[in-house]
Structure 1
Amino acid sequence: RSMVIGAFFLICILFLGSINGSIARPFLSIYIMENIESDINLVVLAYLPAGLLATLLAPKLGALVDKLPPLVGISITSSLGALMTYLLINSANIWVFSLLLLGDLAIGMASGLIFQNLLSRISTENRGKIFGVGDFFAFLGSVIGPLLGGIAWDLISPQFPFIISIFVELSLIPLYLAAVYLLLPHMAESYERKIK
């Protein structure tokens, strides 16, 4: 029974994590141009390198966080991700925004790596099915996220998709804690001593 409940929490994490990753992303460049810097050339210079550098930085950050117990790792990455998003929407300088965006993207990718590591340990026989179901709910979240963000942008304020993202990211921490607690006894591959 705990395996089923833990799997339900994992599905919720995948779904909410995907919403979190996509709720504000489509509006990021527009937000920058309307609230921080109107010069499109500066926006491109600040915005594009952050994604590339974050992709290079995330595996190193993921490897560092992977040395921690998974509960600690996800708590750190989710808390830092929420803090980075808060600082992003309160930034007044394009270059500070770019550095914060780099950190936010890298932390988000590292968090994803930690979660994929957990998924891969649940079952060696059904890994393909687990990843398939996970991708389905992640895809569903990536469809709902931008729609929800667009509604929040239009009806409330341009900052609101980012504010929702902060709360979603923080809500992932207790869900992840519950999932790990419930699934830990059923893991096909252990975290060895890291989770003790």
Structure 2
Amino acid sequence: MVYWKKNLLIVWICQFLAMVGMSAIVPFLPLFIRELGVTNLKDTAWWSGLVFAGPFFISLFLAPVWGSLGDRYGRKIMTLRAIFGLAVAQIIIGFSQNITQLFIGRLLQGALSGFLPAAMALIASNTPEEKTGYALGLLQSSTAAGTVLGPLIGGVISDLFGFRFVFFSVGGLLIAISFVLLILVKEKNKATGEKKYSLRENFNLVVQNKILLISSIMITFAALGISFVRPIFVLYVETLHLSAKNLPTVTGALYSIVGIFSTISSAWWGKRVEKIGLRKSLIIASLLTASMYAAHAFVQNPYLLIPVRTALGFGYGALLPLLFTSISNNVSNERKGGIIGVGSSFQILGNMIGPLMGGFAVGVIGLRQAFLITAFFFVVTSFLSYKFLKK
């Protein structure tokens, strides 16, 4: 097997397992916050947003730093550092005794992790340019596929064994993944080190290059949109009058529906973007995502959420791999890690402010209205694609 395909296969499997673990935590985190003593709905929504955003406070600044270091010393070592740091953080979070300790643990996670952009830079720099769209689309499908099983598994395990057991299990899984990457992944296209680009130089390149800048801004809006309602989704599901006993499992299943069709979508769009065109693909995917988020505001029956979440997954699954492909294809190989790191900071910015805005919005306008705001962010993404990207 060609080495870049072997790397892609191994990293796909490892990223899939990592996302199974990390997304296993998502459905019950607001319920874990309640277990730590925060019981008021408004306070739970606010703390859920803050805890979800916690890792991004730190990684916003560190992602481009790790990317630049990857360009200098190798993307594989940065990938290993990130996955092992993520494991340590989950174990520490599992020992949290109050909401403050949980928040500090999430901040530590942001400082130590950065696995997804590191893995993306590793694959992008070791894949032929004409295959980058396919490779990053397929890699993104591993993230989506992990969200298929992760929330469902996390919901079931937390129902059976408690919330803390999930954190410890995820930590152990991530440690095992780090050893697989260490042994099996080969990095051939390391930077020569003849020219070392600083964080400032990489950021300036993104700002001065219209395609890189617009793509990065759209990454922010895409991340902001989905993270806006992520921490309060379980509270939204509660409004559908389900049994409290089954709430984590049902929420996990609804997350998994998005994951299934994001997996299909990422691979499908990755193969067809050369025929359809990046601009048209992004417009279609953004509008589909916007309409499905808007539909959440009006659905009263959990069964009606199934087709809505299906279409949502197919639309959203296309966005990030297409946008990062746009970045990767417009930068030289020796700078891919640093520039993808800057692009990841734009994504982290959206992930950071989204939960905070969402938690605040619920307290002001209500749960269902928050989904209409989310839809607006994806309408903006569609407009930016139409206005500024090449046909």
TM-score of the superposed pair, with normalisation by structure 1 = 0.80
Tell me if structure 1 keeps the 8 A contact 2:258–2:312: no
Tell me if structure 1 keeps the 8 A contact 2:223–2:354: yes
Tell me if structure 1 keeps the 8 A contact 2:282–2:382: yes
Distance 1:169 1:52, change over 3 A: closer
Distance 1:37 1:113, change over 3 A: farther
- Structure 1 window deviating more from structure 2 (110-119 vs 171-180): it is 171-180
Aligned partner of 2:322: which letter? I
Aligned partner of 1:49: which letter? S
After the TM superposition, which residues 91-102 of structure 1 pair with which residues of structure 2 at under 5 Å, given as runs? 91-102=299-310
> Offset at 1:107?
1.6
> Offset at 1:52?
4.0
Tell me if structure 1 keeps the 8 A contact 2:292–2:308: yes
Larger RCO (alpha carbons 8 Å, 6+ apart): 1
Partners of 1:37 and 1:102 in 2: CA distance: 22
2:361 is matched with: 152
Match of 1:9 among 189, 209, 214: 214
- Size of the alignment, in residue pairs? 181
Cα distance per residue 1:105-155 (max 9 Å; x no partner): 232121222212211111123222220001111112101000001111001
Unaligned runs of 5+ in 1: 182-194
Partners of 2:219 and 2:255 in 1: CA distance: 26
The answer to whether structure 1 residue 38 and structure 2 residue 242 are counterparts is yes
Partners of 1:157 and 1:149 in 2: CA distance: 10
Aligned partner of 2:242: which letter? S
Bigger Rg, structure 1 or 2: 2
TM-score of the superposed pair, with normalisation by structure 2 = 0.43
Tell me if structure 2 keeps the 8 A contact 1:11–1:137: yes
Match of 2:283 among 75, 86, 92: 75
2:378 is matched with: 169
Partners of 2:264 and 2:291 in 1: CA distance: 18
Match of 1:116 among 303, 309, 324: 324
Distance 1:173 1:28, change over 3 A: same
Tell me if structure 1 keeps the 8 A contact 2:261–2:310: yes
Unaligned runs of 5+ in 2: 1-204
Match of 1:136 among 334, 345, 365: 345
Cα distance per residue 1:1-60 (max 9 Å; x no partner): 9953443322321222211120011111210211x2422427724424314423432334
Aligned residue for 2:366, secondary structure, equals coil
Aligned residue for 1:105, secondary structure, equals helix
Distance 1:114 1:5, change over 3 A: closer
- RMSD of equivalent CA atoms: 2.4
Q: Percent identity?
A: 20
